[in-house]
Chain A
Amino acid sequence: MKTEQENAKEIVNLLDEGTSQLDRKVLDRLYAARMKAVGQLAARRQTVAESEADGIGRVLRMSGDYMHQHRAVMPAVMIIGAALMLFVITQQLTNQPAIEQSDAFLLGSELPPEAFVDKGFDAWLARSSQR
């Protein structure tokens, strides 16, 4: 008594023989259908590749075009920008000691002489300078 798998295998072998004996017209139509499906995929892949390249290229092109159109003033813009940055940095550095000196003067001029011998005031001054 054959098992289900054995019976199935015999039947499938027969069916495979049947597919090897298909009519020429059927085989030609199957081939044409396959080529049509593959052609559709190839065309879509081509479209996707072109649109991706186009997107990135468009951004680069726009940047390049802008810089090319304003190429005469670009060096001047860069120099001005660098100068501005330098000015800001130097201002930051030179203003700090002046502010500290003025603060000290104000404090010193308004305080009575007794304030300088009061140890509690020193502690308060230390605390407020840390804030």
Chain B
Amino acid sequence: MATPQELSDFLAQVERRAFKQTAYAVRDDHVALDIVQDSMMKLSEKYAHRPVTEYPMLFQRILQNTTKDFWRRQKVRNLWTTLFSSFGSGQDDDETDPLEILGGDPDNDHDQPEAQLQRSQTLAIIEDAIKKLPARQREAFILRYWEDMDVAETAASMGCSQGSVKTHCSRAVHTLASILEKHGFSKPGI
């Protein structure tokens, strides 16, 4: 059984990425936080006896399954929210201020250096693009490149073949790179 310190160190290392990854999938920060919290509790409750080296893969699997559970529960509710959202003010993602996504203070926009602002805008564009990726491509990209898992580990986490992982990753990177290029952010370091 892992020690509390080992579990704490692992969760501290992955919690931010787990939140962002889930937020891309569910497009709601509060829901993403709930899912991440539930996943942490499940890891602690059911898999703490496993070696710490298995935690990255286990936690990713738990995160994905918890996210899928959320979507199952939302399946029926979405029918009604879709109906009512057409009458309400709603939330148009395309008009969202990128600085709000980053948690910045809109009143201080004019004080930010131009490079930092450009980078923030690039981040917002990429995050928006990731949200719009097909779910499997997004999962493959995040696990393979952001969580730094190898192809075999990614395939095990996703429950698919290694060939599928490579295909999903290739398509995801191609899509994201095309979007960056389209917005004029193709130079290195941008």
A-side residues, CB < 8 A to B, are 2, 4, 7-12, 14-15, 17-24, 26-27, 29-30, 33-42, 44-45, 48
Complex CA–CA separation, A19 to B16 (angstroms)? 6
Complex CA–CA separation, A121 to B17 (angstroms)? 100
Binds A, one of B76-84, B155-163, B168-176: B168-176
Given known A-B contacts A11-B176, A19-B17, A37-B11, A30 and B33 have beta carbons under 8 A apart: yes
Choose from B33, B36, B119 the contact partner of A17 (Cβ within 8 Å): B119
Judge if B37 is at the interface, Cβ distance under 8 Å. Answer: yes
Cβ–Cβ < 8 Å partners of A24 in chain B: 103
In contact, A30 and B19 (Cβ under 8 angstroms): yes
Q: Tell me the minimal C-beta distance from B14 to chain A in angstroms.
A: 10
Q: Tell me the minimal C-beta distance from B25 to chain A in angstroms.
A: 14
Instruction: Supply 16 further A-B pairs (C-beta < 8 A) apart from A15-B127, A35-B8, A41-B44.
Output: A8-B144, A11-B176, A19-B17, A21-B103, A27-B16, A30-B36, A33-B15, A34-B8, A37-B7, A37-B40, A37-B41, A38-B11, A41-B1, A41-B2, A41-B4, A41-B48
Q: Main secondary structure on chain A at its contact with chain B?
A: helix
In contact, A23 and B103 (Cβ under 8 angstroms): yes
Choose from A11, A38, A40, A44 the contact partner of B145 (Cβ within 8 Å): A11
Lowest 8 A-B CB distances belong to which pairs? Answer: A33-B37, A23-B103, A37-B40, A19-B16, A37-B44, A8-B145, A7-B177, A42-B4
Cβ–Cβ < 8 Å partners of B19 in chain A: 19, 22, 26, 30
Complex CA–CA separation, A35 to B41 (angstroms)? 10
In contact, B17 and A26 (Cβ under 8 angstroms): no
Cβ–Cβ < 8 Å partners of B90 in chain A: none
Which chain B residues numbered 53 to 106 have a C-beta less than 8 Å away from chain A?
102-104
Which chain B residues numbered 4 to 53 have a C-beta less than 8 Å away from chain A?
4, 7-8, 11-12, 15-17, 19-20, 29, 33, 36-37, 40-41, 43-45, 48
Complex CA–CA separation, A24 to B1 (angstroms)? 32
Complex CA–CA separation, A20 to B119 (angstroms)? 13
Q: Which residue of A lies closest to B2 (CB)?
A: A41
Cβ–Cβ < 8 Å partners of A29 in chain B: 33, 37
Cβ–Cβ < 8 Å partners of A20 in chain B: 16
Judge if B122 is at the interface, Cβ distance under 8 Å. Answer: yes
Cβ–Cβ < 8 Å partners of A27 in chain B: 16
Complex CA–CA separation, A15 to B41 (angstroms)? 25
Q: List 11 A-B contacts (CB under 8 A).
A: A9-B145, A10-B180, A11-B180, A19-B16, A19-B17, A22-B103, A26-B33, A33-B15, A34-B40, A37-B7, A40-B44
Judge if B188 is at the interface, Cβ distance under 8 Å. Answer: yes
Judge if B123 is at the interface, Cβ distance under 8 Å. Answer: yes
